[in-house]
Structure 1
Amino acid sequence: MPRMPPAKPARSASTRAQEFAAIDLGSNSFHMLVARREGDKLQVIDRLRDSVRLAAGLEADRRLSPLVTERALACLRRFGERLRGIPGSQVRAVGTNTMRKLKAGSDFVATAEAALGHPIEVIAGAEEARLVYGGVIHGRGRSQPQRLVVDIGGGSTELIIGRGETPKLLESVSLGCVVHTQRFFGDGRITPIRFKRARLAAGVELEFLQQPYRDAGWDLAIGSSGTIRGIWRVMRENGWIDDEITRDGMEHLIALALRRRSIADIDFPALREDRRPVFIGGLAVLAGVFDALQIDRMETSDRALREGLLYDLLGRLSNRDIRNDSVQTMAQRYGVDVAHARDVERTALRIFEQLETPWKLDRVMAIPFLRWAATLHEVGLAITHNGYHKHGEYIVRHSDLQGFSQTDKHMLAALVRLHRGKFTPAPTAGLPGDWIVPVQKLAVILRLAYLLHRSRKPGLRPPLQADATRKALQLRFNRDGWLDRHPLTRADLEREVHYLAALPMTLRLV
C-alpha cells in the first residue's frame, strides 16, 4: 500500500470552508481531489490516491472479502482525516461498478460512510459516464468537435459521445482492468492465446454499441483514467508514439507485453508499480475498444470522474443542478399536469416551513426532494389511474435520471409511492437508516398537499396551519367553515387519520 504524503500544516476553519472535495471510490483505486474556488475557477490543492482493488475482493456471494474491506476502510479513514473541517455540503463521494454489485443489505456502505465521515452515493453506470464526460471536456475551449470519451476503470468501461457540454450517447460496460485480468490471467501467466481471447471477449461485450456509436461518429477520441494513461506512458517511453495512442503503437505494446509471459515480469519503468498487476487486462480491454469502434488514434486526458464530480458539485451549489433538468424532462415525457404539480409543490413547501423546526428536518436535503416529488407525483398516470402511485414509483426507480444516485432515486421513488394510499414501510426499505424517518415525514407533508389539492381547483391556497411534535400532527384551518365548504378534503383528511396511524402518528383536525 503506498505511503501517504507528509502531513500538511493545519489550515484555519475559514480556509477549510472555501474547500471542496470529490471522492471517487472506484473498483481499482480510491481517489480524492480537494480544490479551492478562486473566482470562477478551481485550484486543485490536494490529491490523495490509494490502490484498493475493490473489484478483486468481490466474492461469489457479492460481499467483500475481509482483507479488501479492511484495506478500503483504512484508506477511507485517511481520506476522512483530510476532510475534517470542510463543510459536508462541499463534499461528495461516489461508489461505482463494484459497489453497484454488492449484495443488497450489505453493511459495507454504512461502515464505509462511518470511516469517511460523509455519505457515499452509489451511482448507476450512465451517471458515472456522464460525470466522466463532464470531467474530461471541462475547460477544453470554445471549439465543439464531436468527442468520443473512453474511460477504463477497474470494473467497468464508460463510453460517451457528445458535443460541447452535452453527452448524446452514454454507456457503461462491465469491462475493467481488474476484472479482465482476473478472468483471463488469474494465475499470472500471459500467453498469446489468452490475450487473444481477452481481446475478443472485450469486443463481444461492446458489440451492442458498435453500430449506434459508429453511426453517431466523432471528430476526436479521448481516453481517460489511469489504465489508458499508463498504456500511453509506456508507448511514449518506447518511442512508438508522440502525443496520441495509435493502433500501430498498441500492437507494438501488445507484442512487448506478451514477451513478458508473466504479470510478475511486467516492469515497464514508465508504469506505476501499483498499475502493473492489472496492466495486461486493461491493455486487452483498450485493444477491444479500438477494434470494436475502429479507432485509429486517441488523445489522453488526466481528468476523469473525480473532476466531473467536483464540477457537478459546484453546479449544485450554484443553482445549476442537473437533477432539476432531469425531473423536468421526465415530467414533460410523461405528460404531467405542470400547473397542478406547482400548486401541490407550493402548498407542500408552505407546510414544510411550519414543520421544519419541530420535526428537525434538514432543508438543504428536504426542499429539493419535496419539489421533485411534487413535480413527479402523478407521473404514473401515464400508465393508468388505478394504483398510479405504484406505477410512478416504478418509473422513477428504474429510469435514467441524470445527476441522481441510486439512493437519490430510491428516496424520490418512495415519496412518489407514499403520496397517497396506505402508508406502508416497503418503499423506504433499503434506504440508509438515518434517512428513513425524514423521508417518511416528507411523505406526510406531500400527502397533505396532495389531499388539499385533490379538487384540482387552479390556484387554490388552503388556509392551513400545521403544528407538530415527534409523533403527533395538528392541522388548523384559519378560516371559519373552510373545511365545511370542502367536504371532499374533510373526508380525505379524516381517512388520513387512520392511514398515518401506521407510522405511528396521531393526526388531529381543528
Structure 2
Amino acid sequence: MSDFLIDDELLAAIDMGSNSFHLAIARVDHGEVKKVASMSEKVQLAAGLDENNYLSEAAQQRGLACLSRFVGRLSAVPRNRMRIVATNALRQAENGDEFMQKAAEILPKPIEIIAGREEARLIYLGVSHTMANGGRRLVIDIGGGSTEFIIGEKFEPLNTESLQMGCVAYTKAYFPDGDISQKAFDKAVVAARKELSAIANTYMKTGWDTVVGSSGTIKACRQIMVNMNLSDEQDNVTREGLHKLKEKLLKVDHVSKIDFDGLRDDRRQVLPAGLAILYAVFDVLKIEKLAFSDGALREGVMYDLLGRFRHEDIRDRSVQAMMGRYGADQKQAERVVETAQQLFDQSAEVLDLSVEDGDLLRRAAYLHEIGLAISHGGYHRHGAYLLQHSDIPGFSQIDQNHLSHLVSHHRRKLRQDALHDVKKVGSERLAYLCLLLRLAVLLNHSRSDADLPAFHLKVKNEQTWQLTISGDVKQWPLLIAELQDEQAQFKHWHVELLIDSDQDIQEV
C-alpha cells in the first residue's frame, strides 16, 4: 500500500445495507473525496431473515446478483483502494459465513462486517465531510435493520449508538401484508420508543445544536414533505410536517395505494415503518426540525480509507486507546512490536505476507498484554475476549477476530485443532503471524532492552524456520531453553523451528 493518494486517484466503497446495496466511486481532489459514479439497488437482505435469523437462498441470490453488477464497475479501481462493508443483516444472519463464501468468489476483496457503533462512526464521518460545520450535531440514519445515532463535533463523534430498529425489520413485524392502520402504526411507534429509551437520557444530556438525517428513509420522507409543502423554507423535516404526513399516510389502507409525489416505487413498501421510526425519534428526542445530508456510510468508508493512506488511521489511535484503557506496559509493547517487525521483514517474502499482514501483527503486538488488566492467569485468553467483543473504532468484526486469535495464541500450548480454527478465519497467513508473535514475545521475556540478543529468522520454506542467535548462546541460557521448549509447540502447527548461533554452537 502506498503512503498517500495523489489527486485523481480512484477510491471505491460498497455498502451492503439491510435494505439497499450501494456502490460509490470517487476521485481524490485536493484532499476531498469527489464522487464520480454511484449505483444503488434495493436488495432487502433483511427481508430474507427468518425467525431464526437464517438468510434465505432467495435473499442471498439477490445480494450476489447485485454484487456481480457492482463488480463490473470496479475494474479501474486498485484493490487496495476499495472497501466492502456489510451492516445489520449480515451481523444478524446465522448463516452469514455461507453468503460471505459465495460473495468471495465474486468480489475482489473480502467483505468486512462492521459492528453497529463502527457503522455509526463511519456514517458520521460521511455526513461531517459533506456538510459545513454547524457546531455539535446529532446525526440519525434509519437503515433497513438498524438505526444509528451519533452526536459529534466537526469530524469527531462523541456518542455512537446503533439500535435494533429499521424500516425492513419493522415492515416485517408491523406491516407484513402491506396493510396500513392506526393500530399497526402505533405499535411500530411504541416499539421504536422502547428502543430509544436506552439512549434518550444520555443523548439529551450531551445535547446538540443541529439535527441531520441521512439514508433513504429520511430522504424519501423529506422529499415527500417538500413536494407537499410540509417542510420549512430550508426544506427541513419539521415536527408539524411529520405529523401531517402521518395523517395523510393513515388515510391509505395499503402500501400499493400510496401515491405521494416524489416517492420511488421501490421505497413504497417500507415507507410506513420508516415513517413510524422517524416519528418516534422526533417524539422521544424532542426534535423540532431535521436537515438532510447525502453523505452516508459509503462516503464515510472512503474518507476512512483516505485517512489510512495519509497515516491518519483511526485503527492506530484505537490501539493506543485500548492500551491506555487497560494499563498495558507501553515499553514492553514497543519492544515486542520492534522485534515482531524485524521477524516480519525477515520472513514476509517467503511466507507471502502482505503489508496489511504486517499492520495486523504490529497492532496485535501492541495489544498482546491487555488481558493482564483482568487477571495474570490466562491473560492471553482475557485479551482475546476483549478484542473479540469490544467496540473498537476502525476495525471490522473480521479484523477483531484476527487480532483475537493472534493474542489468544501468543503464549502457552498450541493445540493442533486450534490450527484449523485459525486457518478457517484467516488462512495460513494468520497462522504464520501467530508464530511470529510468539517468537517476538518469547525473545522479550526479560522485559529489558539490554538482554535482547541480535537474531535473524530465515524461513527456508513454509515448514522449516531457522532462528539464529548472534554470539555465544551460553550468554542466554534461559532464552535458549525457552526456544527449545517452543520447538514442540511449533511442531503442533507443522513448522520445524531450528535454533542456531552464528558460531554454530548449537543446532536442534
Residue in structure 1 matching 2:329, options 337, 356, 364 = 337
Residue 296 of structure 1 aligns with which residue?
A: 288
Displacement of 1:158 in angstroms is 0.1
Uncovered stretches (5+) of structure 1, i.e. residues with no partner = 1-14
User: How far apart in 1 are the matches of 2:222 and 2:420?
Assistant: 46
Q: Which amino acid aligns with 2:275?
A: L
1:59-111 deviation line (CA, Å, top 9, x unaligned): 23422212211111110001111112421110101000000011157310121
Distance across 1 between alignment mates of 2:52 and 2:208: 41
Q: Give the SS at the match of 2:19.
A: coil
Aligned counterparts of 2:205 and 2:419: Cα–Cα separation in 1 = 42
Q: 1:400 and 1:285 mapped to 2: Cα distance?
A: 25
Q: Distance in 1 between matches of 2:140 and 2:417?
A: 39
Give the counterpart letter for 2:79 in structure 1. Answer: G
**Greater Cα shift, 65-74 or 105-114:** 105-114
Q: What is the CA–CA distance in structure 2 between the aligned matches of 1:417 and 1:225, rounded to whole Å?
A: 39
- What is the identity, as a one-letter code, of the residue corresponding to 1:389? H
- Identify if the C-alpha distance between structure 1 residues 195 and 136 changes in structure 2 by more than 3 Å, giving closer, same or farther: same
Q: Partner amino acid for 1:409?
A: Q
More off after superposition, 457-466 vs 108-117: 457-466
Residue aligning to 1:4? none
Give 1:145's match in structure 2, choosing from 132, 135, 141: 135
**3-state secondary structure, aligned to 1:167:** strand
Q: Following the alignment from structure 2 to structure 1, what is the Cα–Cα distance between the partners of residues 353 and 335?
A: 22
Q: How many Å separate the matches in 2 of 1:346 and 1:460?
A: 14
Deviations 1:357-405 (A, max 9, x none): 111111x211111111111111111112111111111111111110000
Query: Which amino acid in the other structure matches residue 418 of structure 1?
Result: H
Q: Give 2:478's aligned amino acid.
A: L
Aligned-partner Cα distance in 2 for 1:431–1:293: 45
Q: Per-residue CA shift, 1:409-456, capped at 9, x if unaligned?
A: 000111111111112367676668472311110111111111111011
Q: Shift in Å at residue 138 of structure 1?
A: 1.0
> Cα distance, 1:16 vs. partner?
12
Aligned match for 2:32, one of 16, 36, 41: 41
How many aligned residue pairs are there?
A: 493
Cα distance change of structure 1 residues 434 and 413 upon mapping to structure 2, 3 Å threshold: closer
Q: Is 1:250 equivalent to 2:242 in the alignment?
A: yes
Closer/same/farther in 2, CA of residues 414 and 291 from structure 1, 3 Å limit: same
Once the two structures are superposed, the pairs formed by residues 34-433 of structure 1 within 5 Å of their partners are 34-103=25-94, 106-141=97-132, 143-242=133-232, 243-362=235-354, 364-424=355-415, 433=424
Provide the residue aligned with 1:450 in structure 2.
Answer: 441
Residue 440 of structure 1 corresponds to which residue in structure 2? Answer: 431
Once residues 424 and 191 of structure 1 are traced to their aligned partners in structure 2, the CA distance between those partners, rounded to angstroms, is 59
Deviation, 1:458, is: 2.7
Distance 1:378 1:187 in 2: 53
Shift of 1:18: 2.1
Query: For structure 1, which segment, 198-207 or 418-427, has the greater mean C-alpha deviation from structure 2 after superposition?
Result: 418-427
Question: Structure 1 length as normaliser, TM-score?
Answer: 0.93
User: Which range moved further: 38-47 or 371-380?
Assistant: 38-47
CA contact (8 A) 1:23 1:30 kept: yes
Query: 2: CA distance between counterparts of 1:428 and 1:225?
Result: 42
Q: Deviations over 1:319-377 (max 9, x none)?
A: 11100000000001111111111111111111111111111111x21111111111111
- TM-score by length of structure 2 reads 0.94
State the distance in 1 between where 2:67 and 2:362 align: 33
Q: Is the 8 A contact 1:407 1:431 kept in 2?
A: no
Q: State the one-letter code of the partner of 1:121.
A: E
Matches of 1:213 and 1:54, distance apart in 2 = 30
Secondary structure at 2:144's aligned position in 1?
Answer: coil
Q: Distance in 2 between matches of 1:353 and 1:250?
A: 60
Q: Percent identity?
A: 41
